[in-house]
A and B are shown apart, each in its own frame.
Chain A
Amino acid sequence: MTLPGDLVISGLGLVLPCGDGVEAARASLASGAPCFADLPETLGQGRGAACTSFNPTGIIPPMQLRRLDRASRFAWVAAHQAFQDAGLDPKAGTQGGGDRIAVAVGTMTGGSEAGEAFMRPYLQRGPEGASPLLFPSTVANAASGHLALAFGLKGPSATFVDREGATVTALEQAARWLRTGFADAALVIGTDGLFPLLLDICRGARLLDRHGDPEVGSGRGFLPGEGAQAFLLETRARVEARGTQPRATLRALVGRSAAGSDVEARAKALAQAVDQTSGEGRPVRWIGGSSGLERLDALETRLAANHPDWPAPCFPKPLWGEFGGSGGQLLAAALLEPSDLTLVTAPASSGTQFALCLDGVRLKQS
């Protein structure tokens, strides 16, 4: 998609396995230490990257916290951080308040944790096992509804479930809403939570790295992670009118699909997406979405071979895990180091392969 050049990311909020907030994420990326550990039984059997230090105290009221699934909790806290980072309080009514703020969510597991919690007792005990409190959280768009309530957001909303590219798809839709005047700002969220059935399915389908140490190019598989990443997307003029500075300019965002799902076709689609962003020049940083899963890694391995002059890619997934609906943690990683031009590639196991360029990434005190 051609972007008008004035769309900026003004706020960033992160809940990751390495901790809450931007500084924890920066430290984690700098250290290169993976966040994988044996998971508590409540989240599943095996290794993964859980948000064990997640702390919603003072942000989510206790009464509401009990009713939220993990993905919604993470999304709420990340959104809170992003609004603070952008110097915007939607409930205060400045710049139109939340009336014209959209929400675009990318997720793969949104609703599924509650879905398992709802269905287990139903399958075991019949209708008396079904909880009316749990059912509303079984929809993938539960998080967007909670965010709307929490922050008074009344613009358009969409929740995308396009596998590894879901959050980038959400970002694209958000950019479109701003461009067409459907909204003045958009909260873009990537959020996923771990739950036992997810681990069980991934293990049963032989998708997980049994060494417990995912490595790009190994072909051994990935390990799952969880968390949320929140990005506030606005026009530069709106951000500057508030007297704040953006974190980065969203310069280009291109998605290409392959009609088939084989590696050749998807690699070609990703290369085409990258080519369409290449007018922006040689990247200074490159963030990639390889995870240890052969069908993702192969795409970026080929890309790197075709661009020997590019910097070595930084891969966040072997540190923080595969979130399923990710793409969000890739964009987050891109915003953690200053750079004139950062390329993010988001390979997916099917559907759209994305490439995006961020310009003028800068850090700010959060």
Chain B
Amino acid sequence: MTRVVVTGLGIVSSLALDREGTWSAMLEGRDGLGPLTRLHLPSEPAQIAGQVPLGPLRHQTLCERMALLALEEALDGFQPGGDPARIGVFQGAGTSGLPTVEAYLEERLAGRRGRAAQPAYQSPCTVTDALARRLGAEGPRSTIMNACSSSLLALGQAWERLATGELDLAVAGGAEGLCRTTYAGFSCLKAVDARKCRPFSRDRAGLNLGEAAVQLLLEPLDRAMARGATIYAEVLGYGASMDAHHPTAPHPEGEGAARALAMALRVGGMEASSVDLVSAHGTATPANDGAECLAIRRALGSAADAVSVTSTKSQFGHTLGVAGAMGAATTILALRDQVVSPTLRLEDPDPICDLDCTPLVAKERRLRAALVNAFAFGGNNVSLLLARWGGA
């Protein structure tokens, strides 16, 4: 298997429109949650969201705009050359394309003609195509919609193709904007907290929704070294599983999630005791966080007592399809800087979440390897294994 490293990282978030701005704000303990203004939903009890301070352009949806911005940051001036057929683009999406469908439906319900061409041509893979065009990529291209685990699985796909020597370069990630369907949907499931969300807390009452885009550049180690690229971290592998338990709720014991974690360790050839950090799915819903902590214990065994756990949902809200890539990106920065970003508002931990969930302030510590979790409706679990880059 070819060793695969991350050589580029772009983040557009509600904290900042760039990687380092986002990361430093996280370490300072700031969150990107604020009043919901993107959508006019006065009847919804929750009026909080993690909004990116950007809007769509005339010929660019918000998702496309954010994704391309993140890609430019990830490229950092690098112009990919070589065989375009060996450059792949792998994206995960949650609701990308939905805002245009919602707008069209609203027009039709109002008795107006609407502009059908927009929803007809603005599908989730429009973002994937836009990134491929920018790169001149002619290799494999895919758009996964696995709800909230989409972009982490896209990273897994990119790793697979690089590790087997099929590609020279891959871009993986996702972009997600707010839309009414998810806002109304999570709200009617009573899964949205009207206050800022509190992952792992005893009084956690649900999630907040957020926007973001994350793009990662992945390459074979030898190619990255040959061109003198900045290496952020190594991708060791991933695991994926289905719960086969419930359409929306996770397995209460975290059985399926634990299998994904264990699979990632097995694929990456790593002992649980070498993992120092788990970037949790950590949505702050009553069902997820307890089950996830059980899953981490189940997969890591006694080593779970020594790991740090953190949830980016406390900074950005739940960015749905891009949540996994956001977890991966911030974990890579944690491995680089040897510091764990905090779980904000974790003042009264739930006893069932009896791991070190990094409450309130960032924590400096030795970080050798990390797992990133993303779980989704339908019991779709993905876990990605990353290692600190300390030289070949």
Instruction: Identify the A interface with B (CB < 8 A).
Output: 1, 98, 103, 108, 110-112, 115-116, 118-120, 122-124, 126-127, 130-132, 135-142, 144-146, 148-149, 152-163, 169, 172-173, 176, 180, 182, 197, 200-205, 207, 255-261, 269, 272, 350-352
Q: B350-392: contact bitstring with A at CB < 8 Å (1 yes, 0 no)?
A: 0000000000000000000000000011111000000000000
Taking CB atoms and an 8 Å cut-off, the chain B residues in 135-149 that contact chain A are 135-147
Contact call A350/B129, Cβ cutoff below 8 A: yes
Contact call A162/B142, Cβ cutoff below 8 A: yes
Q: List 15 A-B contacts (CB under 8 A).
A: A1-B166, A118-B184, A122-B184, A141-B146, A148-B379, A149-B246, A149-B379, A157-B146, A159-B145, A162-B125, A162-B143, A257-B132, A257-B137, A259-B132, A351-B143
Q: Does B2 contact A (CB under 8 A)?
A: no
B106, B144, B145, B160: the one contacting A180 at CB < 8 Å is: B160
**Min distance, Cβ A59 to any Cβ of chain B, angstroms:** 18
Contact call A205/B377, Cβ cutoff below 8 A: no
**Min distance, Cβ B19 to any Cβ of chain A, angstroms:** 26
| Cα(A201)–Cα(B84), bound, Å | 34
Task: Identify the interface centre among B115, B120, B146: most chain A CB within 10 Å of its CB.
Answer: B146
Also in contact, A154 and B256, with CB within 8 A (given A141-B376, A146-B247, A148-B379): yes
What residues of chain A lie closer than 8 Å to B142, measured between beta carbons?
160, 162, 169, 173, 352
| Cα(A351)–Cα(B123), bound, Å | 12
Contact call A130/B187, Cβ cutoff below 8 A: yes
Taking CB atoms and an 8 Å cut-off, the chain B residues in 94-147 that contact chain A are 94, 98, 101-102, 104-106, 108-109, 113-117, 119-121, 123-125, 128-129, 132-133, 135-147
Q: Does B259 contact A (CB under 8 A)?
A: yes
Of all chain A residues, the one with the shortest Cβ separation from B45 is: A127
Contact call A136/B247, Cβ cutoff below 8 A: yes
Of all chain A residues, the one with the shortest Cβ separation from B135 is: A259
| Cα(A116)–Cα(B104), bound, Å | 11
| Cα(A272)–Cα(B140), bound, Å | 13
Also in contact, A155 and B241, with CB within 8 A (given A161-B93, A161-B145): yes
Of all chain B residues, the one with the shortest Cβ separation from A126 is: B43
Contact call B136/A259, Cβ cutoff below 8 A: yes
Taking CB atoms and an 8 Å cut-off, the chain B residues in 337-352 that contact chain A are none
Contact call B242/A127, Cβ cutoff below 8 A: no
Q: B272-295: contact bitstring with A at CB < 8 Å (1 yes, 0 no)?
A: 000000000000000000000000
Q: Does B223 contact A (CB under 8 A)?
A: no
Q: Does B79 contact A (CB under 8 A)?
A: no
Of all chain A residues, the one with the shortest Cβ separation from B164 is: A180
What residues of chain A lie closer than 8 Å to B144, measured between beta carbons?
158-161
| Cα(A135)–Cα(B124), bound, Å | 19
**Min distance, Cβ B256 to any Cβ of chain A, angstroms:** 7
Contact call B141/A257, Cβ cutoff below 8 A: yes
| Cα(A200)–Cα(B120), bound, Å | 10
What residues of chain B lie closer than 8 Å to A142, measured between beta carbons?
247, 377-378
Of all chain A residues, the one with the shortest Cβ separation from B377 is: A139
Contact call B248/A136, Cβ cutoff below 8 A: yes
Contact call A141/B43, Cβ cutoff below 8 A: no
B44, B84, B164, B378: the one contacting A144 at CB < 8 Å is: B378
Q: Does B85 contact A (CB under 8 A)?
A: yes
What residues of chain A lie closer than 8 Å to B245, measured between beta carbons?
149
| Cα(A142)–Cα(B247), bound, Å | 8
Contact call B138/A127, Cβ cutoff below 8 A: no
Q: Does B181 contact A (CB under 8 A)?
A: yes
**Min distance, Cβ A271 to any Cβ of chain B, angstroms:** 13
B133, B143, B147, B246: the one contacting A260 at CB < 8 Å is: B133
Q: Does B306 contact A (CB under 8 A)?
A: no
| Cα(A148)–Cα(B146), bound, Å | 13
Contact call B43/A103, Cβ cutoff below 8 A: no
Contact call B143/A131, Cβ cutoff below 8 A: no
Q: Does B229 contact A (CB under 8 A)?
A: no
| Cα(A1)–Cα(B243), bound, Å | 29
A126, A163, A256: the one contacting B123 at CB < 8 Å is: A163
What residues of chain B lie closer than 8 Å to A201, measured between beta carbons?
101, 104, 116, 119-120
Of all chain A residues, the one with the shortest Cβ separation from B140 is: A255
| Cα(A203)–Cα(B129), bound, Å | 24
Contact call B184/A130, Cβ cutoff below 8 A: yes
A110, A141, A148, A163: the one contacting B125 at CB < 8 Å is: A163
| Cα(A153)–Cα(B379), bound, Å | 11
Contact call A153/B188, Cβ cutoff below 8 A: no
